[in-house]
Amino acid sequence: MIRSILIVGLGGFIGTVFRFLISRYFQLHLFSVFPWGTFTVNIIGSFIIGILFGLSEKGDILSSEWRLFLTVGICGGFTTYSTFSNDAFILLQNNEFIRFATYSGLSFVLGLFAVYFGRLIIKAI
């Protein structure tokens, strides 16, 4: 159990650092009310987790420890539902209803498609 916690913790650290760097990049380079950083990491993370679960379904390509490290650790630390929810709340609070609907709808729909395409790519290989 301790080994699994350390594996997830290391992956979470790496994913969180990447999320911070990508979000920070968008904050510094795009001056927009739309939360592009969170949106981007959630779509990329959805695509990556689709690939990883597709690999897992294809066979014993990833050990259980690697799956834990990559999916729960890195992807879990990289994607951020709590930040997504807060960004959506701020848009609502600022009466940005169209941006709220766009952000929430696209995050959900594109996230699902990203997972689907990640799995589809692995099935095609």
pLDDT in tens, the chain (125 residues): 999 999 999 999 999 999 999 999 998 999 888 999 989 999 999 999 889 888 888 887 888 899 899 988 999 999 978 778 888 999 999 999 999 999 999 999 999 999 999 999 999 98
The predicted pLDDT at position 60 comes to 79
Q: What are the backbone angles phi and psi of residue 94, rounded to the nearest 5°?
A: -90, 15
Based on the number of CB atoms within 10 Å of its own CB, is 67 exposed (0-12), middle (13-18) or buried (19 or more)? Answer: middle
Q: What angle do CA 48, 49, 55 make, to 5 degrees?
A: 95
Q: Strand, helix or coil at 40?
A: helix
Both tokens of 77, joined, read: 């630390």
Non-local CB neighbours of 90 within 8 Å, separated by 6+ positions: 35
**Where along the chain do its domains lie?**
2-124
Q: What is the dihedral of CA 31, 92, 89, 21, to 10 degrees?
A: -10
CA–CA dist 102, 108 (Å, integer): 10
